[in-house]
Protein backbone atom coordinates (compact mmCIF):
# COMPACT_ATOMS: atom_id res chain seq x y z
CA UNK A 1 0.00 0.00 0.00
CA UNK A 2 2.78 2.46 0.91
CA UNK A 3 4.63 1.72 -2.31
CA UNK A 4 1.43 2.34 -4.38
CA UNK A 5 0.77 5.66 -2.62
CA UNK A 6 4.35 6.75 -3.19
CA UNK A 7 4.10 5.87 -6.88
CA UNK A 8 0.83 7.89 -7.24
CA UNK A 9 2.45 11.11 -5.91
CA UNK A 10 4.19 13.30 -8.60
CA UNK A 11 7.87 13.55 -8.20
CA UNK A 12 9.72 16.84 -7.64
CA UNK A 13 11.05 16.70 -11.18
CA UNK A 14 7.52 16.35 -12.57
CA UNK A 15 6.31 19.37 -10.62
CA UNK A 16 9.28 21.43 -11.76
CA UNK A 17 8.69 20.43 -15.37
CA UNK A 18 5.02 21.37 -15.14
CA UNK A 19 5.92 24.69 -13.58
CA UNK A 20 8.31 25.47 -16.42
CA UNK A 21 5.70 24.61 -19.02
CA UNK A 22 3.14 26.88 -17.37
CA UNK A 23 5.67 29.69 -17.15
CA UNK A 24 6.60 29.33 -20.79
CA UNK A 25 2.96 29.29 -21.85
CA UNK A 26 2.26 32.35 -19.73
CA UNK A 27 5.31 34.11 -21.19
CA UNK A 28 4.24 33.31 -24.74
CA UNK A 29 0.74 34.52 -23.91
CA UNK A 30 2.08 37.79 -22.49
CA UNK A 31 4.32 38.35 -25.50
CA UNK A 32 1.48 37.52 -27.87
CA UNK A 33 -0.89 39.84 -26.06
CA UNK A 34 1.74 42.57 -26.06
CA UNK A 35 2.27 42.15 -29.80
CA UNK A 36 -1.45 42.15 -30.44
CA UNK A 37 -2.02 45.24 -28.31
CA UNK A 38 1.00 46.93 -29.90
CA UNK A 39 -0.25 46.18 -33.38
CA UNK A 40 -3.72 47.43 -32.51
CA UNK A 41 -2.36 50.61 -30.93
CA UNK A 42 -0.05 51.18 -33.90
CA UNK A 43 -2.95 50.71 -36.28
CA UNK A 44 -5.04 53.19 -34.32
CA UNK A 45 -2.05 55.55 -34.13
CA UNK A 46 -1.82 55.76 -37.91
CA UNK A 47 -5.52 55.30 -38.61
CA UNK A 48 -6.48 58.13 -36.25
CA UNK A 49 -3.49 60.50 -36.21
CA UNK A 50 -3.07 62.52 -33.04
CA UNK A 51 -0.88 65.46 -32.07
CA UNK A 52 -0.50 67.84 -29.16
CA UNK A 53 1.50 70.30 -31.28
CA UNK A 54 -1.58 72.38 -32.02
CA UNK A 55 -2.81 75.86 -31.15
CA UNK A 56 -6.04 77.83 -31.41
CA UNK A 57 -5.91 80.58 -34.00
CA UNK A 58 -8.10 83.43 -35.19
CA UNK A 59 -7.64 86.29 -37.62
CA UNK A 60 -6.25 89.50 -36.16
CA UNK A 61 -7.45 92.62 -37.96
CA UNK A 62 -5.88 96.01 -37.39
CA UNK A 63 -8.43 98.83 -37.60
CA UNK A 64 -7.08 102.10 -39.00
CA UNK A 65 -8.94 105.36 -39.67
CA UNK A 66 -9.42 106.79 -43.15
CA UNK A 67 -8.76 110.30 -41.84
CA UNK A 68 -6.18 111.82 -39.52
CA UNK A 69 -6.75 113.76 -36.33
CA UNK A 70 -6.76 113.55 -32.53
CA UNK A 71 -8.98 110.95 -30.91
CA UNK A 72 -11.79 112.68 -29.01
CA UNK A 73 -13.79 109.64 -27.88
CA UNK A 74 -12.76 106.08 -26.96
CA UNK A 75 -15.78 104.17 -25.57
CA UNK A 76 -14.08 100.74 -25.51
CA UNK A 77 -11.70 99.00 -23.14
CA UNK A 78 -9.12 96.30 -23.53
CA UNK A 79 -10.37 92.68 -23.88
CA UNK A 80 -13.93 93.90 -24.47
CA UNK A 81 -16.31 92.09 -26.80
CA UNK A 82 -17.67 94.37 -29.51
CA UNK A 83 -20.50 93.40 -31.88
CA UNK A 84 -20.43 94.48 -35.50
CA UNK A 85 -21.23 98.19 -35.82
CA UNK A 86 -20.24 99.22 -32.28
CA UNK A 87 -18.33 102.49 -32.04
CA UNK A 88 -14.60 102.00 -31.42
CA UNK A 89 -13.23 105.55 -31.42
CA UNK A 90 -13.93 109.00 -32.85
CA UNK A 91 -11.46 111.26 -34.64
CA UNK A 92 -12.03 115.02 -34.20
CA UNK A 93 -14.67 115.73 -36.90
CA UNK A 94 -14.59 119.58 -36.79
CA UNK A 95 -12.16 120.24 -39.67
CA UNK A 96 -13.95 117.69 -41.84
CA UNK A 97 -17.33 119.18 -40.97
CA UNK A 98 -15.99 122.58 -42.01
CA UNK A 99 -14.84 121.10 -45.30
CA UNK A 100 -18.32 119.61 -45.79
CA UNK A 101 -19.97 122.98 -45.14
CA UNK A 102 -17.63 124.60 -47.64
CA UNK A 103 -18.37 121.92 -50.27
CA UNK A 104 -22.12 122.29 -49.77
CA UNK A 105 -21.81 126.08 -50.16
CA UNK A 106 -19.78 125.57 -53.33
CA UNK A 107 -22.51 123.26 -54.64
CA UNK A 108 -25.11 125.98 -54.05
CA UNK A 109 -22.94 128.54 -55.89
CA UNK A 110 -22.43 126.05 -58.72
CA UNK A 111 -26.18 125.63 -59.11
CA UNK A 112 -26.51 129.42 -59.28
CA UNK A 113 -23.76 129.64 -61.91
CA UNK A 114 -25.45 126.92 -63.93
CA UNK A 115 -28.73 128.87 -63.79
CA UNK A 116 -26.94 132.01 -64.94
CA UNK A 117 -25.26 130.15 -67.79
CA UNK A 118 -28.59 128.64 -68.86
CA UNK A 119 -30.08 132.15 -68.94
CA UNK A 120 -27.07 133.37 -70.94
CA UNK A 121 -27.56 130.53 -73.42
CA UNK A 122 -31.23 131.40 -73.84
CA UNK A 123 -30.33 135.07 -74.35
CA UNK A 124 -27.61 134.25 -76.87
CA UNK A 125 -29.94 131.88 -78.70
CA UNK A 126 -32.67 134.53 -78.82
CA UNK A 127 -30.17 137.04 -80.29
CA UNK A 128 -29.17 134.45 -82.87
CA UNK A 129 -32.82 133.94 -83.88
CA UNK A 130 -33.33 137.69 -84.16
CA UNK A 131 -30.25 138.06 -86.35
CA UNK A 132 -31.35 135.15 -88.55
CA UNK A 133 -34.75 136.82 -88.98
CA UNK A 134 -33.07 140.11 -89.91
CA UNK A 135 -30.81 138.27 -92.34
CA UNK A 136 -33.80 136.58 -94.00
CA UNK A 137 -35.47 139.97 -94.48
CA UNK A 138 -32.27 141.50 -95.88
CA UNK A 139 -31.80 138.65 -98.36
CA UNK A 140 -35.40 139.00 -99.47
CA UNK A 141 -34.94 142.75 -99.92
CA UNK A 142 -31.76 142.18 -101.98
CA UNK A 143 -33.55 139.70 -104.20
CA UNK A 144 -36.34 142.27 -104.79
CA UNK A 145 -34.13 145.21 -105.74
CA UNK A 146 -31.51 143.40 -107.82
CA UNK A 147 -33.86 143.08 -110.89
CA UNK A 148 -34.77 146.76 -110.55
CA UNK A 149 -31.21 147.90 -111.13
CA UNK A 150 -31.36 147.14 -114.88
CA UNK A 151 -34.57 149.23 -115.17
CA UNK A 152 -32.95 152.08 -113.23
CA UNK A 153 -35.57 152.03 -110.49
CA UNK A 154 -32.77 151.72 -107.90
CA UNK A 155 -29.18 152.82 -107.92
CA UNK A 156 -26.12 150.58 -107.81
CA UNK A 157 -25.35 152.04 -104.40
CA UNK A 158 -28.70 150.73 -103.08
CA UNK A 159 -27.87 147.22 -104.29
CA UNK A 160 -24.37 147.45 -102.84
CA UNK A 161 -25.75 148.49 -99.43
CA UNK A 162 -28.26 145.65 -99.49
CA UNK A 163 -25.54 143.13 -100.29
CA UNK A 164 -23.36 144.57 -97.50
CA UNK A 165 -26.19 144.15 -95.02
CA UNK A 166 -26.61 140.50 -96.05
CA UNK A 167 -22.89 139.84 -95.56
CA UNK A 168 -22.94 141.64 -92.20
CA UNK A 169 -25.95 139.59 -91.16
CA UNK A 170 -24.05 136.35 -91.96
CA UNK A 171 -21.08 137.51 -89.84
CA UNK A 172 -23.37 138.51 -86.96
CA UNK A 173 -25.16 135.15 -87.09
CA UNK A 174 -21.82 133.29 -87.00
CA UNK A 175 -20.76 135.38 -84.00
CA UNK A 176 -24.06 134.68 -82.24
CA UNK A 177 -23.70 130.94 -82.88
CA UNK A 178 -20.19 131.09 -81.43
CA UNK A 179 -21.52 132.81 -78.31
CA UNK A 180 -24.17 130.12 -77.91
CA UNK A 181 -21.57 127.35 -78.26
CA UNK A 182 -19.23 129.06 -75.79
CA UNK A 183 -22.01 129.43 -73.24
CA UNK A 184 -23.00 125.80 -73.71
CA UNK A 185 -19.41 124.67 -73.18
CA UNK A 186 -19.15 126.78 -70.05
CA UNK A 187 -22.38 125.21 -68.83
CA UNK A 188 -20.69 121.78 -68.95
CA UNK A 189 -23.81 119.90 -69.93
CA UNK A 190 -23.13 116.43 -71.40
CA UNK A 191 -26.34 114.61 -72.17
CA UNK A 192 -28.33 114.43 -68.94
CA UNK A 193 -25.25 115.14 -66.79
CA UNK A 194 -23.90 118.55 -65.92
CA UNK A 195 -20.15 118.30 -65.32
CA UNK A 196 -20.03 121.38 -63.08
CA UNK A 197 -22.79 120.10 -60.82
CA UNK A 198 -21.38 116.57 -60.85
CA UNK A 199 -17.96 117.80 -59.70
CA UNK A 200 -19.49 119.88 -56.90
CA UNK A 201 -21.69 116.97 -55.81
CA UNK A 202 -18.65 114.67 -55.80
CA UNK A 203 -16.82 117.14 -53.55
CA UNK A 204 -19.79 117.15 -51.16
CA UNK A 205 -19.92 113.35 -51.19
CA UNK A 206 -16.20 113.13 -50.45
CA UNK A 207 -16.55 115.59 -47.58
CA UNK A 208 -19.48 113.60 -46.17
CA UNK A 209 -17.38 110.43 -46.37
CA UNK A 210 -14.61 112.08 -44.38
CA UNK A 211 -17.07 113.21 -41.72
CA UNK A 212 -18.44 109.66 -41.54
CA UNK A 213 -14.92 108.24 -41.37
CA UNK A 214 -14.33 110.20 -38.16
CA UNK A 215 -16.50 107.64 -36.32
CA UNK A 216 -14.81 104.23 -36.61
CA UNK A 217 -16.98 101.18 -35.87
CA UNK A 218 -16.29 97.46 -35.54
CA UNK A 219 -16.55 95.81 -38.98
CA UNK A 220 -17.53 92.44 -37.46
CA UNK A 221 -18.13 90.61 -34.20
CA UNK A 222 -14.77 90.68 -32.41
CA UNK A 223 -12.71 91.03 -29.24
CA UNK A 224 -10.59 94.09 -28.52
CA UNK A 225 -7.01 93.13 -27.75
CA UNK A 226 -3.81 94.94 -26.79
CA UNK A 227 -5.49 98.34 -26.51
CA UNK A 228 -2.74 100.88 -25.82
CA UNK A 229 -4.27 104.22 -26.77
CA UNK A 230 -6.14 106.98 -24.93
CA UNK A 231 -8.23 110.03 -25.76
CA UNK A 232 -6.03 112.77 -27.16
CA UNK A 233 -3.69 110.51 -29.10
CA UNK A 234 -3.24 111.52 -32.73
CA UNK A 235 -4.57 108.96 -35.20
CA UNK A 236 -2.89 108.87 -38.60
CA UNK A 237 -4.72 107.92 -41.76
CA UNK A 238 -4.10 104.29 -42.67
CA UNK A 239 -2.14 103.51 -39.50
CA UNK A 240 -3.48 100.84 -37.14
CA UNK A 241 -5.09 102.12 -33.95
CA UNK A 242 -7.08 99.15 -32.58
CA UNK A 243 -6.50 95.40 -33.00
CA UNK A 244 -9.51 93.09 -33.17
CA UNK A 245 -9.68 89.32 -32.82
CA UNK A 246 -12.20 88.10 -35.39
CA UNK A 247 -14.81 86.15 -33.43
CA UNK A 248 -16.59 84.86 -36.53
CA UNK A 249 -14.15 82.11 -37.48
CA UNK A 250 -11.91 80.15 -35.12
CA UNK A 251 -9.59 77.38 -36.20
CA UNK A 252 -6.82 75.17 -34.88
CA UNK A 253 -3.45 74.87 -36.56
CA UNK A 254 -2.25 71.31 -35.82
CA UNK A 255 1.22 70.24 -36.89
CA UNK A 256 1.23 66.58 -37.98
CA UNK A 257 4.20 64.45 -38.95
CA UNK A 258 4.52 63.95 -42.68
CA UNK A 259 4.02 60.18 -42.39
CA UNK A 260 0.47 60.90 -41.09
CA UNK A 261 -0.56 63.06 -44.06
CA UNK A 262 -1.76 60.11 -46.14
CA UNK A 263 -4.47 59.54 -43.51
CA UNK A 264 -5.67 63.17 -43.40
CA UNK A 265 -8.09 64.60 -45.95
CA UNK A 266 -10.17 67.79 -46.12
CA UNK A 267 -13.63 67.26 -44.69
CA UNK A 268 -12.57 64.72 -42.06
CA UNK A 269 -13.88 65.14 -38.53
CA UNK A 270 -11.47 66.00 -35.73
CA UNK A 271 -11.79 65.81 -31.98
CA UNK A 272 -10.12 68.69 -30.19
CA UNK A 273 -9.30 69.11 -26.53
CA UNK A 274 -8.09 72.46 -25.24
CA UNK A 275 -5.83 72.84 -22.23
CA UNK A 276 -8.12 75.41 -20.57
CA UNK A 277 -11.01 72.89 -20.73
CA UNK A 278 -9.40 69.43 -20.51
CA UNK A 279 -12.71 67.64 -19.87
CA UNK A 280 -14.68 69.25 -22.70
CA UNK A 281 -14.30 67.82 -26.24
CA UNK A 282 -14.73 70.13 -29.23
CA UNK A 283 -15.63 69.11 -32.74
CA UNK A 284 -13.80 70.37 -35.79
CA UNK A 285 -13.46 69.70 -39.51
CA UNK A 286 -10.23 69.47 -41.48
CA UNK A 287 -10.19 72.45 -43.82
CA UNK A 288 -6.91 71.64 -45.55
CA UNK A 289 -3.30 70.47 -45.25
CA UNK A 290 -0.35 72.78 -45.80
CA UNK A 291 1.46 72.47 -49.11
CA UNK A 292 4.80 74.06 -48.32
CA UNK A 293 7.35 74.57 -45.56
CA UNK A 294 10.21 77.05 -45.43
CA UNK A 295 13.60 75.36 -45.52
CA UNK A 296 17.06 76.88 -45.41
CA UNK A 297 18.45 73.86 -47.24
CA UNK A 298 17.72 74.28 -50.93
CA UNK A 299 17.63 78.08 -50.95
CA UNK A 300 19.17 79.77 -53.98
CA UNK A 301 22.34 81.86 -53.77
CA UNK A 302 23.28 83.87 -56.87
CA UNK A 303 21.02 81.64 -58.96
CA UNK A 304 22.57 78.37 -57.74
CA UNK A 305 20.99 75.94 -55.26
CA UNK A 306 22.60 75.98 -51.83
CA UNK A 307 22.74 72.50 -50.27
CA UNK A 308 24.37 72.45 -46.86
CA UNK A 309 26.43 69.32 -46.03
CA UNK A 310 24.94 67.13 -43.33
CA UNK A 311 26.27 64.25 -41.22
CA UNK A 312 22.97 63.41 -39.59
CA UNK A 313 22.10 59.75 -39.93
CA UNK A 314 18.75 60.16 -38.21
CA UNK A 315 16.15 61.81 -40.41
CA UNK A 316 13.44 63.57 -38.46
CA UNK A 317 9.96 63.72 -39.93
CA UNK A 318 8.81 67.12 -41.07
CA UNK A 319 5.63 68.54 -39.60
CA UNK A 320 3.01 70.09 -41.85
CA UNK A 321 0.27 72.41 -40.60
CA UNK A 322 -3.30 71.13 -40.83
CA UNK A 323 -6.03 73.75 -40.50
CA UNK A 324 -9.07 72.56 -38.57
CA UNK A 325 -12.16 74.73 -38.65
CA UNK A 326 -13.92 74.97 -35.31
CA UNK A 327 -17.60 75.41 -34.63
CA UNK A 328 -19.22 78.56 -33.23
CA UNK A 329 -17.66 80.02 -30.11
CA UNK A 330 -19.48 78.78 -26.99
CA UNK A 331 -19.87 81.42 -24.28
CA UNK A 332 -19.30 78.74 -21.61
CA UNK A 333 -16.06 77.59 -23.24
CA UNK A 334 -14.74 80.57 -25.20
CA UNK A 335 -11.83 80.12 -27.56
CA UNK A 336 -8.66 82.07 -26.89
CA UNK A 337 -6.05 82.60 -29.54
CA UNK A 338 -2.83 80.73 -28.76
CA UNK A 339 -4.38 78.14 -26.44
CA UNK A 340 -2.75 74.70 -26.63
CA UNK A 341 -4.83 71.96 -28.22
CA UNK A 342 -4.70 68.18 -28.61
CA UNK A 343 -6.14 67.02 -31.93
CA UNK A 344 -7.21 63.56 -33.07
CA UNK A 345 -8.31 62.99 -36.66
CA UNK A 346 -11.34 60.69 -36.65
CA UNK A 347 -11.91 60.30 -40.37
CA UNK A 348 -15.13 60.91 -42.22
CA UNK A 349 -18.16 60.91 -39.91
Which pLDDT value is given to residue 120? 73
Which pLDDT value is given to residue 144? 76
Q: Determine the 3-state secondary structure of 236 from DSSP.
A: coil
Chunked mean pLDDT (size 10), the chain, 349 residues = 52 72 76 68 70 95 95 95 96 96 93 80 74 75 72 72 75 74 68 80 95 96 93 94 94 92 92 94 94 74 66 75 90 93 89
Which pLDDT value is given to residue 341? 96
Q: How far apart are CA 254 and CA 151, in angstroms?
A: 116
Q: How far apart are CA 126 and CA 129, in angstroms?
A: 5
CATH topology of domain 49-70+240-349: Elongation Factor Tu (Ef-tu); domain 3 (2.40.30)
Report the CATH number of the 95-211 domain: 1.10.287
Where in the chain are the domains?
49-70+240-349, 95-211
**208-246 pLDDT, tens digit each:** 999 999 999 999 999 999 999 999 999 999 999 999 999
Which pLDDT value is given to residue 165? 78
Q: How far apart are CA 77 and CA 226, in angstroms?
A: 10
Residues 6+ apart with CB under 8 A from 106: 200, 203
Which pLDDT value is given to residue 288? 94
Q: How far is CA 2 from CA 5, 10, 13, 167, in A?
A: 5, 14, 20, 170
Q: How far apart are CA 242 and CA 225, in angstroms?
A: 8
Question: Burial of 200 by CB count in 10 Å (0-12 exposed, 13-18 middle, 19+ buried)?
Answer: buried
H-type alpha helices, 217-316: none
Which pLDDT value is given to residue 41? 58
Which pLDDT value is given to residue 127? 75
Amino acid sequence: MAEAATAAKPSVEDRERARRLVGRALGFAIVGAALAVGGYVTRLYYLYPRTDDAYVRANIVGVAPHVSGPIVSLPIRDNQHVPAGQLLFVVDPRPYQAALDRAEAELTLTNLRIKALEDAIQSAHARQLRLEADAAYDRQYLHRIEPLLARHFVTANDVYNARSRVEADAAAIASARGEVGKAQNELGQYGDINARRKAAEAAVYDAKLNVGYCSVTAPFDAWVTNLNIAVGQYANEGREVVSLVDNRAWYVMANFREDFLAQIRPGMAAQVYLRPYPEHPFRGVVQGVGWALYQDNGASVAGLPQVAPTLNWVRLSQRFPVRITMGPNDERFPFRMGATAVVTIQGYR
